Structure 1
Amino acid sequence: MDATSLPAAIHSAGVAELLWRTPGEAPGAIGVVPLVLGGRPAVALPWGHVGTARAAASGGAAALVLSDPRLTGSRWAPLVATGPLTLVEDGAGDLFTDELLDQELRKHPPARALADSPMLRREHWWYLPRLVLVLEPVDVVAGGRREGPGDVVLGVDDGTLHVRTVRVADWGTAPLEVRGGPAGVRGPAVLVGQELSVPDVERWTVHTTAGRYADDRLTVTQPAVTRELEPVPGLLTRIRRQRALERSCVRALRAAGHG
Structure 2
Amino acid sequence: MTEFVPLWRRAIAAEVCWIDHEGHPCALAATPVLDQGAPAVALPYSRACQIAGLRSATSVAFAVTDSRSLRGARQGLVSVGVPEIIDDLDGDHFAVELLKQELVKYPPSRTLADSPLLCRENWWWLPRIIVRLTRREQPESTAPRTNPERHALLVRPEGIRPRVSVVELTGNDGADGDAVRLGNLALPDSAPGTALLFGHDYSMPDLERWESWSMLGTLDGDLLGVERRTGEPGALARPLRLLDRLRRQRALQRECVRGIREHENHW
Output the TM-score relative to the length of structure 1.
Answer: 0.91
Are 1:238 and 2:245 matched, yes or no? yes
Measured against aligned partners, the alpha-carbon deviations of 1:124-152 in whole angstroms (never above 9, x if no partner) come to 01100100011112331122201112111
- The residue aligned with 1:156 is 156
- The residue aligned with 2:86 is 88
Runs of 4+ deviating beyond 3 Å: 71-74, 171-175
CA shift in 2, pair 1:243/1:127, >3 Å? same
Q: Which is worse superposed, 183-192 or 124-133?
A: 183-192
Query: Structure 2 regions of 5+ residues with no counterpart?
Result: none
CA distance in 2, matches of 1:151, 1:118: 40
One-letter amino acid of the structure 1 residue matched with residue 182 of structure 2: V
- The residue aligned with 2:166 is 165
CA distance in 1, matches of 2:116, 2:25: 39
In structure 2, which of residues 181, 189, 209 is the aligned counterpart of residue 184 of structure 1? 189
CA distance in 2, matches of 1:172, 1:205: 24
CA distance in 2, matches of 1:22, 1:34: 22
For the aligned residue pairs, the C-alpha RMSD in angstroms reads 2.1
In structure 2, which of residues 18, 26, 34 is the aligned counterpart of residue 20 of structure 1? 18
One-letter amino acid of the structure 1 residue matched with residue 163 of structure 2: H
* Contact in 1 for aligned 2:212/2:231 (Cα 8 Å): no
CA shift in 2, pair 1:147/1:122, >3 Å? same
CA distance in 2, matches of 1:194, 1:225: 10
* Contact in 2 for aligned 1:153/1:163 (Cα 8 Å): yes
CA distance in 2, matches of 1:181, 1:6: 20
Which structure features the higher share of strand residues?
A: 2
Please state how far the C-alpha of 1:57 moved relative to its aligned partner: 2.7
Please state how far the C-alpha of 1:108 moved relative to its aligned partner: 0.6
Q: Which is worse superposed, 178-187 or 15-24?
A: 178-187
- The residue aligned with 1:36 is 34
CA distance in 2, matches of 1:7, 1:21: 23
CA shift in 2, pair 1:71/1:116, >3 Å? farther
CA distance in 2, matches of 1:146, 1:48: 27
Question: Identity, % of aligned pairs?
Answer: 33
Please state how far the C-alpha of 1:207 moved relative to its aligned partner: 0.5
In structure 2, which of residues 201, 205, 220 is the aligned counterpart of residue 214 of structure 1? 220
One-letter amino acid of the structure 2 residue matched with residue 61 of structure 1: S
